[in-house]
Structures are given as C-alpha cells and as structure tokens.
Structure 1
C-alpha cells in the first residue's frame, strides 16, 4: 500500500508542474505592448528558410528581427498578431532602425531581440556579437509583414542618426 501511495504522489508531481508551467506561459504571452520602449540587448542571426510567420526569410541579407518566444500568443505562430504589420523600432547610439518581425527567438528573454545580420551591422560591427543597452519597441507598420531587402533604400523614417 505504501509503495502505491508514493507512486501516486510521485506521478502527481510532474502533472502539477506541467499545469503550473502552462498557467505561467499564458501570463508570459501578454498582449503586444505597442509603442512601449524597452531596454535590452540584441544579438544577430543568419538563418534562411521559413521564419515563424510562415514566410521565406534570409537573415543574412534581409533587414528583419526575431523576437522572444515570450511575446508569441498563438499555438501556430503563422497566425500570431506579431506577423500582422508589427515591426520593432530599435534605437542605439543615436541611430534608429525599424524592422519587421518575421521570426521567433527561442533562447531570447523578453527584452532580448535577435536582429538579422545586416540590421545588427547598422548599429555595431558583427564581431561585437552583442549590443547591450539599446532601446526597442513594437510598432505598427504598413509593411504587412514584408521583410526589407538589404538593397532597399533606407528612408529618414526607417533609419536615422
């Protein structure tokens, strides 16, 4: 009888932990705080293929951003509000760049963004690897989720500084 009781208690612990994780995930995936500046850091990546929004990306050649998994709110990221005209406006040392959200960063915390290689290079040499102390915010854009090709002209409203 004692073995059965311990087995039930032991089996219940993982189930309780899974329930707490599921409940906690709901609060981590809060509404997108559009126009709310955040202080954080940026790294860069070079993935190519399909981004979390279900469109083809090339982080080596396009200006785009992957944001933390904590901001995604749907089970199917292709249907997530982040994929519908949401961009990230990044400011660092007097320069500002707005790039569309096209991907998810599974290892980023909520204030860490993963810029495409050319977007990162607008702010710092690639050899630096990490930019600390930048400000970024989600913004609504008319880009309709389109990644900006590296060859696209940069206007005063997209890059300044």
Structure 2
C-alpha cells in the first residue's frame, strides 16, 4: 500500500528538512541566527543612543541600521538592549551603544575591547563565523 503525505506534512518537511541548510538565515527582531560577521572600530564621541562612547576602551556593540525602528535613534528600544555574541565556545554580553550604518544585517561592529574578548585585534580585523542575538541587560 502506498502512503500519501498530506499537504501539511509536505510543508512541515520542506521547512524542517530543506530550508535550514539551503539558505542564509534572515534577520529577525532577535538578532542574526546564522553565521555572522564581527568587526571592530575605535571612534569616540556620542553614539546613536545619545551617550558618550569610546570604542577604544568601552565594551559595547554597534548594531546594523536594519534593526533600528525609531526616527530618533536615542529613543529606539535597542538603546535599552544588549547583544549576546558567541564565537568558538565563548559567549559575551555587551550593551548596544551605537548604530553601524555600513553593516549588513548579519554584521556587528564591536568596540575594540569587546572584539578582543574573542580575537586579538592587533592581528584579526574580521570574524566570520560568530552568532549573536539581542538580549536584555
């Protein structure tokens, strides 16, 4: 006897079996859940959240413009959030302090000390296999 799958079962199989390995994960309100890029920077001044930042000494992240929703960045809900970043078995959580206008949806621009938690910024400028998600403080 042949077994015929119902359309709902086929749809579940397509989502569960085919999609995870066939395409890059998409951005979500919770962060990027695929391989993502980490870079670092060293500017100082006022960040997008309206507070003083110094990327040479502080621990924080600049999040891609894709995720910002308020017309006035300092009023954006992201300014009250952090990001949880994982790379090679190590996880850190840093506050969001800035917007990265040049970042793609899968990229975070970290302060130099935050990046240094994963790799030595004297030798590495880009990490391509990290993951991150938004988190509360």
Pick from 111, 124, 131 the counterpart of residue 116 of structure 1.
111
Gaps of 5+ in 2: 1-26
Question: Aligned residues, how many?
Answer: 110
Counterpart-to-counterpart distance in 1, 2:77 and 2:117: 27
User: Deviations for 1:35-85, whole angstroms, at most 9, x for unmatched residues?
Assistant: x7343010001111100000000110010000101110011100001012x
The yes-or-no answer on 1:67 pairing with 2:63 is yes
Task: Give the TM-score taking structure 1 as reference length.
Answer: 0.65
User: Deviations for 1:5-46, whole angstroms, at most 9, x for unmatched residues?
Assistant: xxxxxxxxxxxxxxxxxxxxxxxxx97326x73430100011
Counterpart-to-counterpart distance in 2, 1:73 and 1:133: 27
Pick from 30, 35, 38 the counterpart of residue 33 of structure 1.
30
Counterpart-to-counterpart distance in 2, 1:67 and 1:138: 10
Moved over 6 A (4+): none
Higher helix share: 1
Task: Give the TM-score taking structure 2 as reference length.
Answer: 0.76
Counterpart-to-counterpart distance in 2, 1:54 and 1:32: 22
Gaps of 5+ in 1: 1-29, 142-161
1:108 counterpart SS class: coil
Pairing 1:128-147 to 2, within 5 Å after superposition: 128-141=124-137
User: Deviations for 1:68-127, whole angstroms, at most 9, x for unmatched residues?
Assistant: 01110011100001012x100010011111000010001001110001000101101112
1:89 aligned partner: 84
Pick from 89, 92, 102 the counterpart of residue 107 of structure 1.
102
2:6 aligned partner: none
| Matched-pair contact (CA < 8 Å) for 1:38–1:137 | no
RMSD (CA atoms):
1.6
Pick from 72, 93, 96 the counterpart of residue 98 of structure 1.
93
